[in-house]
């Protein structure tokens, strides 16, 4: 037979575990809710702001970026190609 003291300890441990689980669950729920709210606000703000480059579109920026990379890395690519890489 389990003594009264052991039963009290088991009950305390069980209640403590349940309480801790509830607290952790509520904290996680609160964190996920705040992350979700922040992301939705960020998306709304990003849609309302002007593009980084003013009136230029993303496609124009991508084209300029690719052109700059081609000009910068062109000699390296030619050197590697001449060696058979």
| Whether residue 35 sits in one domain with residue 7 | yes
pLDDT of 27 reads 95
| Whether residue 37 sits in one domain with residue 10 | yes
- 31 class by beta-carbon count within 10 Å (0-12 exposed, 13-18 middle, 19+ buried): exposed
pLDDT of 26 reads 94
pLDDT of 8 reads 92
Average pLDDT over residues 65-76: 88
| Whether residue 9 sits in one domain with residue 35 | yes
d(Cα 56, Cα 62) in Å, to the nearest integer? 10
d(Cα 44, Cα 63) in Å, to the nearest integer? 27
d(Cα 81, Cα 75) in Å, to the nearest integer? 10
29: containing domain:
1-49
Q: How many domains does the chain have?
A: 2
**Structure confidence by residue, pLDDT tens digits, 20-64:** 999 999 999 999 998 888 887 776 666 665 556 566 677 888 888
pLDDT of 1 reads 65
* Mean pLDDT, all residues of the chain: 83
Contact 58, 51 (CB under 8 A): yes
| Whether residue 43 sits in one domain with residue 21 | yes
| Whether residue 2 sits in one domain with residue 38 | yes
């Amino acid at each position: 037979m389990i003594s009264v003291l052991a039963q009290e300890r088991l009950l305390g441990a069980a209640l403590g575990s349940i309480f801790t689980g509830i607290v952790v669950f509520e904290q996680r729920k609160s964190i996920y809710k705040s992350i979700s709210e922040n992301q939705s606000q960020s998306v709304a703000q990003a849609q309302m702001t002007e593009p980084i480059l003013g009136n230029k579109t993303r496609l124009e920026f991508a084209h300029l970026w690719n052109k700059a990379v081609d000009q910068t890395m062109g000699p390296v690519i030619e050197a590697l190609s001449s060696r058979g890489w």
